Amino acid sequence: MHSLRRNHLTRRALLALAIGVSPVIMTSAVRSKREPVSLSAITIPASKPPAKGLVVVLHGWGANAQDVRSAASYLKLPDYQLVFPDAPFPYPYAAGGKMWYDFPNNFRFQSTPEFRDRPDLSTSRQRLSEFLQSLVDQTGIPFSRMVLGGFSQGGAMTLDVGFNFPLAGLMVLSGYLHAPLPATLSHRPPVLMVHGKQDTVVPLLAAHQARDSLSALGVKSRYQEYNMGHEISPTVLQQVQSFVEETLIRVS
C-alpha cells in the first residue's frame, strides 16, 4: 500500500504544469433533470457556445477534479465543453483528496472477476453512470459526441463504465482493468491507451493485459508507451488532443 501512495505525486505534477496559467473556470455540481446526482464537477465551457461535444476526464486515487483541471489549459479544445468530476469517496490519507474506491491489501492491478463486485466500486460505477446521463440531459449533447477518459484509477473507471454507453471514444492514461470485460460489449468505442515504461505504480503488465483484452474483443485501440513514470506528460496531452479532435470530427 505504501507504493500506491505515490499515485498522489500526480497532484503535484499536474499543479506544476499549471504554474503561471489562469484559465477561466466555472465550478458547479452538475445535476440531472430527473434526479439528484451526487458527483460535483468542474466545468470549462466551450469558448463559443454551443459546444460541439463533451470531454469528461476522471482523476486518479487521492487526487481530485482540480488536479486534472490544471492540465486543461494545455489542451486546445475551444469548441468543446470539458468536465472534471470528483469521485464520491474522501481519500483517507490527505485532505481534499478523493477516490473512486479504496485498494485492498496487496492489490496487484491484475484483472480479477471478484473485484467487479466491491461495494465502493459498485457505488462509484452507479454514480458515474448517472452523472454521464445527467450531462446528456443537461446539455443536450448526445453520448455519440462525448469522450470519456481518466488517469490511473480514473482510467480503470473509464474502462469499467465506458462500454455501457454509445460514446465517441475512451482514453485510458496509466490505467488498468478492474475485472475481465464481458464477452459481449454493449458498445465498442475506440480507445486511446497511454502508459509509462517506468511506471512504478500501475505496472506495465497491467496495461498490456488491458490492451490485449480489448484486442481480443475486437475493440479498436491505439496503444502508446513512453519513457515516463506514473504521470501525465506534455506528450500524453498531445495524444489526448489528437485523439479528441480525430474522434469527434469523425462523428460530426
What pLDDT, on a 0 to 100 scale, did the predictor assign at position 252?
Answer: 62
Domain that holds residue 66: 3-250
Average pLDDT for 146-165:
98
180-202 burial, b if ≥16 CB within 10 A, otherwise e? ebeeeeeeebbbbbbbbeebebb
Please state the domain count of the chain: 1
Is the pLDDT score of 22 beyond 70? no
Output the domain CATH number for residue 214: 3.40.50.1820
Distance CA 131, CA 126 (A): 9
User: Region 3-20: what's the mean pLDDT?
Assistant: 35
Calculate what percentage of the chain has a pLDDT beyond 70.
85
- Averaged over 4-25, what is the pLDDT? 34
- The string of pLDDT tens digits covering residues 184-243 is 899 999 999 999 999 999 999 999 999 999 999 999 999 999 999 999 999 999 999 999
Give the range among 12-26, 96-110, 145-159 with minimum mean pLDDT. Answer: 12-26
pTM of the full predicted structure?
Answer: 0.85
pLDDT tens-digit map of 76-119? 999 999 999 999 999 999 999 999 999 988 899 999 999 999 99
Summary mean pLDDT of the chain: 86
- Cell 460514446 maps to which residue? 167
